[in-house]
Each structure stands twice: as C-alpha cells, then as structure tokens.
C-alpha cells in the first residue's frame, strides 16, 4: 500500500453587504492564480486556527468563522506539485469585521509578477460569479455550490 500524503488547504468565503464575493489573485510557484483567501494547514494547527492565521496574514485583521461550508468529498491530486499528494480543501463562511480596510482593485493580477508571493484582492458581484474566474478545480466546484445557493 502506498504511503498517504495529504496537502490540506483552508479557505474563507466572505460575501459583503453588496452581495460581492472577496477573491484573491496571487503569483506563486511561477504562476498566476485566482482563489479564495486562505492557505495551507501547518503541522499542529487546527483548520479554524489555520484560517484565522491565514486571514490575519493576508487581510490584516481577525475574522469570525460563521460555519463550515464545504470539504472536498472526492479525490483531487495536487495540481501545483508533481507528486503523489492528495489535496483536501476545507471552506468556511467567514465574517470580516472591517472589509472596507482591505485594499482591493478591479484589475485582475494588479501587482508586479517578478517575485513569488504578490497578492491583490477583488470583489466579484454574485450576479457575475463564474467558475471560469478561478484557477483550481475544487474552487470551481465551490463557486458552483455558492451560485446554486444564491439562486434558492
């Protein structure tokens, strides 16, 4: 039996009062990516602590966890690393106390791409939300679930 190696990612879904979703554009591992705010679980860390840490790093403020939204329920290989790692992504609905303090832009990838790690944030109106806006397969699935819930 092969050794199981997992990459666990934790993301926050924040929809503001204007019915817009907060997303992030980033340049990492020599590629542009559009995704939800959040990132990788560190050893010894719980998923909620991970998301709170990631949001503090990325957004500069503490968040409140509203509820669990989705956890990967199928096999997804890690598409960023050529390895045998299985990706597990966990999504929470979050509340950001001061969304107006987040520097946002309307321009996709509004940063210099010559170094690893630049990031910019955008608001996407739920009425314009598309799976095609996102880079990764699990995020695309989550967008589909969000759109389905908005229609109901």
- What does the pLDDT average to over 121-137? 96
pLDDT at 83: 63
Confidence of residue 51 (pLDDT cuts 50, 70, 90): very high
Domain boundaries, the chain: 6-151
Q: Which residues contact 47 (CB under 8 A, 6 or more apart)?
A: 8, 10, 41, 90, 92
Q: Tell me the average pLDDT of the chain.
A: 92
**Cα distances (Å, whole numbers) of residue 121 to 35, 45, 52, 67:** 10, 25, 17, 22
pTM of the model: 0.92
- CATH of 6-151, picked from 3.40.50.10470, 3.50.50.60, 3.40.640.10, 3.90.79.10, is 3.90.79.10
Q: Which two tokens stand for residue 19?
A: 């019915």
């Amino acid at each position: 039996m092969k050794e199981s190696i997992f990459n666990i990612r934790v993301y926050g879904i924040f929809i503001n009062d204007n019915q817009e979703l907060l997303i992030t554009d980033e340049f990492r591992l020599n590629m542009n990516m559009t995704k939800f705010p959040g990132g990788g679980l560190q050893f010894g860390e719980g998923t909620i602590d991970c998301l709170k840490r990631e949001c503090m790093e990325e957004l500069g403020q503490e968040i409140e966890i509203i509820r669990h939204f989705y956890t990967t329920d199928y096999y997804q290989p890690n598409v960023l690393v050529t390895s045998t790692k299985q990706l597990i992504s966990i999504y929470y609905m979050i509340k950001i106390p001061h969304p107006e303090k987040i520097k946002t832009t309307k321009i996709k990838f509004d940063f210099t791409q010559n170094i690893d790690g630049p990031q910019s944030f955008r608001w996407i109106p739920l009425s314009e939300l598309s799976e095609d806006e996102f880079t990764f397969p699990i995020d695309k699935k989550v967008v589909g679930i969000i759109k389905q819930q908005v229609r109901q």
